[in-house]
Amino acid sequence: MNHEIIIKTLLFTLFFISLSSINATDLNLNPEDSINDAITNVNANGSTTNNNTITLNNGTYNKNTDRNNNITINNINLTIKGNGEVIIDAQHLGRIFNIIGNSNITFTTITFRNANTSSGGAIYNNLGKLNIVNCTFTNNMASNNGGAIYNDGGDNMSIVNSIFYNNAAQFGGAVHFNNINRSFTVYNSNFANNSANPSDGGALVVITNNCNISNSNFTNNSANDWGGALECRYGNFTINNCIFINNEANNFGGAIHNYRADSVTVTNSSFRNNTANDSGGAIHNTGGNFSVSNSDFTNNTATYGGAVYSSNNNSLVNYSNFTSNQAFAIGGGIFNNGNMSVFGNLMMNNSAALGQIIYNNGYLGILNLTFIDNSTKTVKNGNTVILYASLTDDMGNTITGQNISFYVNGVLIGTVESIEGLGNLMYTSNTLGILPINGSYYGHGTYSIVNKNGELNVTKLATNSTVNVPNIVKVKKTTTINGVLTDENGNFVANVQFIVIVDGQVYTLTTDNRGRWSLSYKPFHTGSIEVLVKFLGDDKYFGSQNSTSFKSVKQLKYIKVKVKGNRIIATLCDKNGKRVAGEKVYLTQKGKILGFGITNQNGQVIFDYSGPKIDLKVVFGGSDRYYPVSVVVKVNDDDNNKSKNIPQSSNPKATDKSKNTLESNNPKITMENTGIPFLIVMLVLLTFVGLLEWRKK
């Protein structure tokens, strides 16, 4: 019996010897071997002076004895490596490795899949220094932290040339590193389809003293809260030459969320098609120092800050490209809610409801503030003009948000918010001369801003008055001369005095509230009447003048004649049929005056003729008001019972064109009382009596 026990003991010893080479901790396993046993051996026999190695040969390790491996040994270097295509499959039944000893552990060329636990689905590291090289983590889950790996207080950790695919946890869908006193490094690795639900860091949550992520890709990762691919907490982060595509966060930071990190520096990286339902389609920053340089942001979307949202005290975005990013509300390219310096950035086709390129709700520089195109604009005194200013960064990208103040000639006239890089303000000029236009932008803080000022050259308004007159006016007939005084813009010049000079006579008039003026005028002679309208100007308007003329002509007349027996009744009328009084009318025969009379108030003169039947002529010789007119009368002729009307010709003549020689046979002409003034009649009689007495002598 004792002999049998001794044999069994020897066989068991030989088994462990077969697992090792010269060093008892250099173990070589096949899929049918137990990883648990190998770890137990290392915990018991691992060398603190030499490297310890467990080699897993090609195959899948999925037995109960291949999971829940506890590495408890301290102060050793242990490498667990795959030889060929090595898969450790936990079949969703637990964790694979639990590192609670203070040792340096390296996993290389192994695929970890289907692990499932509360934290650190595949690997939980509490004290050790962990290195992941050329490994793949697939379909691992944790209900709390780190779907694939949870480094909870462990030492420095590095991930090199590895793949994390389709891992999930509440925090850190692939990896959660939690040690503020240690460093975390990722190099040349890929993170795809990892998720954090319901919290943060779809691929990574990193709480560290120092984090360096380079040459790595993050694709299709998601977080139900913050950081679709990466959440940075505390410490200093450097992200270089990385690609973030199609990552999504339900709240902040579609690709990266910086939560209280001392600094985050992003260089030479690309962000495409990342989405945050709230803020920061690519990056959301609420930490300390933050900088982005030489990076590309394309087709990222969010409600606020389509590409970048930053609310810390010291941010820098420079020499980067922003293309076709979109904010459904504010800040298509960048939303700044803190202090930010921007320069050298190219921005194209970004969009937002407000602030399509950059929205500034904090302090921003370096900026250019330009008033009215840095030029001199000529305006008219009293006119209302639009003053405008443009606000851009050094590359001409427009800035929205915060107020621009406007000063004219040193006086603040108002402030207006910059909208898409423009601020407009209405201003009515009331001072002549050159007025400087300048101001400031409240949103630049202590950052540099280049002010490019403008000038207004305020001049008077030119004026002009229309002059409306008839072409022809009858002598001593009242006519109206009028017009409208306007400025060069067609606006009425109201309630100003000016003069109108008509035929040398000066009239002073005042325009009404519509610039209108009017003058009643009666010409007293024929010929051209000159009209000059003259506005002398005032503080607001330049003076002006306008002139025209009209023709004053005599009025038309005609004579109506009735013959009743020996009585000739002549009625003098104007062209409208109105009878004309006070004018001298003659009765002639072959140019010889037989008699005359002055038309009475009915425009009539009555001649009594007792002579032979001859042609007589009733003649009006004209006056300063009327053209001459005449009519031929046949006495004792029935035709003379009809009215004789002779209209005015263009050059009327009171001559008898008849070539017949008629004898008067001493005709007798008498005149009835037609209302001629008594003194005139007496003067005529006295003259006649005097002539008779002179002949007698």
The predicted-structure confidence for 361-372, as pLDDT tens digits, reads as follows: 999 999 999 999
In a domain, 333, yes or no: yes
- 25 contacts 52 by C-beta, under 8 angstroms: yes
Q: HSE of 444 in the Cβ direction (CA atoms, 13 Å)?
A: 20
Task: Tell me: pLDDT of 659 over 80.
Answer: no
The encoded tokens of residue 377 equal 């604009």
Residue where a domain terminates, one of 417, 435, 459: 459
One domain for residues 165 and 297: yes
CA 636 to chain centre: 96
In a domain, 16, yes or no: no
Residue where a domain terminates, one of 506, 534, 553: 553
CATH number at residue 602: 2.60.40
Stretch (H or E) spanning 589: strand 584-589
Band of pLDDT at residue 655, cut at 50, 70 and 90:
very low
Q: How many helices and strands in the chain, by DSSP H and E?
A: 3, 70
Distance (Å, whole) CA 417 – CA 527: 67
Distance (Å, whole) CA 248 – CA 227: 8
One domain for residues 330 and 453: no
One domain for residues 325 and 427: no
Q: In what order do the strands lie in the sheet with 479-487?
A: 463-465, 479-487, 516-521
**Percent of the chain at pLDDT exceeding 70:** 87
One domain for residues 191 and 279: yes
Select from 239, 234, 310, 318 the least CA-distant residue to 279.
310
The whole-number pLDDT of residue 575 equals: 74
In a domain, 65, yes or no: no
Task: Tell me: pLDDT of 586 over 60.
Answer: yes
Select from 265, 310, 306 the least CA-distant residue to 284.
310
Contacts with 693 (C-beta within 8 Å, 6 or more apart), sequence order? none
pLDDT digits (tens, 9 = 90+) for 526-581: 889 999 999 998 888 889 999 999 888 776 666 888 888 778 898 988 777 888 88
Task: Tell me: pLDDT of 663 over 60.
Answer: no
Select from 550, 632, 536, 530 the least CA-distant residue to 591.
632
Q: At what angle do helices 2-19 and 35-45 cross, to 10 degrees?
A: 90
In a domain, 260, yes or no: yes
The whole-number pLDDT of residue 692 equals: 56
Residue where a domain terminates, one of 459, 481, 516: 459
One domain for residues 357 and 398: no
CA 470 to chain centre: 51
Q: What phi and psi, each to the nearest 5 degrees, are found at residue 496?
A: -120, 150
Domain range spanning residue 416? Answer: 372-459
Distance (Å, whole) CA 181 – CA 109: 28
Beta-strand ranges (E) seen in 381-432 are: 384-393, 399-400, 403-408, 411-417, 422-428
One domain for residues 128 and 147: yes
Which range (89-98, 373-382, 621-630) has the least confidence?
621-630
Band of pLDDT at residue 228, cut at 50, 70 and 90:
very high
The whole-number pLDDT of residue 641 equals: 43
Q: What is the mean pLDDT of residues 321-332?
A: 98
Select from 98, 99, 101, 110 the least CA-distant residue to 48.
101
In a domain, 48, yes or no: no
| DSSP code of residue 201 | -
One domain for residues 567 and 489: no
**Percent of the chain at pLDDT exceeding 90:** 69
DSSP-assigned states of every residue in 80-130: EEEEEEEEEE-TTSS-SEEE-SS-EEEEES-EEES-EEEE-SSEEESSSEE
pLDDT digits (tens, 9 = 90+) for 445-496: 999 999 999 999 999 889 999 999 988 888 888 999 999 999 988 999 999 9
One domain for residues 188 and 253: yes
One domain for residues 211 and 344: yes
In a domain, 101, yes or no: no
Task: Tell me: pLDDT of 517 over 60.
Answer: yes
3-state helix, strand, coil in the chain (%, to 5): 10, 55, 40
Q: What phi and psi, each to the nearest 5 degrees, are found at residue 636?
A: 55, 35
The whole-number pLDDT of residue 362 equals: 96
Task: Tell me: pLDDT of 645 over 50.
Answer: no
In a domain, 87, yes or no: no
Segments in 458-529 forming alpha helices (H): none
Q: Considering only residues 679 and 495, tell me which one the structure prediction assigns the higher pLDDT.
A: 495
Which range (63-67, 509-513, 605-609) has the least confidence?
605-609
Which range (12-26, 339-353, 423-437) has the least confidence?
12-26
The whole-number pLDDT of residue 607 equals: 87
pLDDT digits (tens, 9 = 90+) for 389-414: 999 999 999 999 999 999 999 999 99
One domain for residues 546 and 569: no
Q: Beta strand pairing status for 463-465 and 479-487?
A: antiparallel
Band of pLDDT at residue 686, cut at 50, 70 and 90:
low
Task: Tell me: pLDDT of 11 over 70.
Answer: no
Band of pLDDT at residue 651, cut at 50, 70 and 90:
very low
Q: Beta strand pairing status for 629-634 and 615-620?
A: antiparallel
Helix (H, G, I), strand (E, B) or coil at 641: helix
Letter for the amino acid at 250? N
Task: Tell me: pLDDT of 35 over 90.
Answer: yes
Band of pLDDT at residue 688, cut at 50, 70 and 90:
low
One domain for residues 514 and 602: no
Q: Considering only residues 205 and 564, tell me which one the structure prediction assigns the higher pLDDT.
A: 205
Distance (Å, whole) CA 388 – CA 437: 10
Task: Tell me: pLDDT of 640 over 50.
Answer: no
CATH number at residue 518: 2.60.40.10
Dihedral sign (CA 364, 365, 370, 371): positive
pLDDT digits (tens, 9 = 90+) for 269-294: 999 999 999 999 999 999 889 999 99
One domain for residues 210 and 274: yes
Count CB atoms within 10 A of the CB of residue 649. Answer: 10
Task: Tell me: pLDDT of 694 over 70.
Answer: no
Q: Tell me the pLDDT of the chain averaged across its residues.
A: 87
In a domain, 107, yes or no: no
Count of domains for the chain: 4
Band of pLDDT at residue 112, cut at 50, 70 and 90:
very high
Select from 385, 464, 468, 376 the least CA-distant residue to 430.
385
CATH number at residue 401: 2.60.40.1930
- 40 contacts 11 by C-beta, under 8 angstroms: no
Q: Which residue has the tokens 């201003």?
A: 427
Count CB atoms within 10 A of the CB of residue 119. Answer: 21
Task: Tell me: pLDDT of 13 over 80.
Answer: no
